[in-house]
Amino acid sequence: AGALIAWFDRVVVNDAGVNGSANIGYLAGFEAKFLQTGRLPNYALAIVAGILLLSVVMLVALV
């Protein structure tokens, strides 16, 4: 029973749970760095596109 618990803790909890969530955060940050240009028009366009997308989603949800 002790070996099974040790395996579960190592494989499921540590590898999948802890390391898996850390890897997701690392990959999200790695991809997000390519979106950072430092140019204001790019950020304004992203904000407007996000607002339009949310508006469409809300309108579709209401219909």
Q: How do residues 4-48 score in pLDDT, each as one tens digit?
A: 999 999 999 988 889 989 999 999 999 999 888 889 999 999 999
- Domain with 26, as residue range(s), is 2-62
Cα 37 from Cα 14, distance rounded (Å): 36
**Domain total in the chain:** 1
With a cut of 90, say whether residue 1 has pLDDT above it. Answer: no
Amino acid letter, residue 32: A
Give pTM, 2 decimals.
0.52
Sign, CA torsion 13/15/18/20? negative
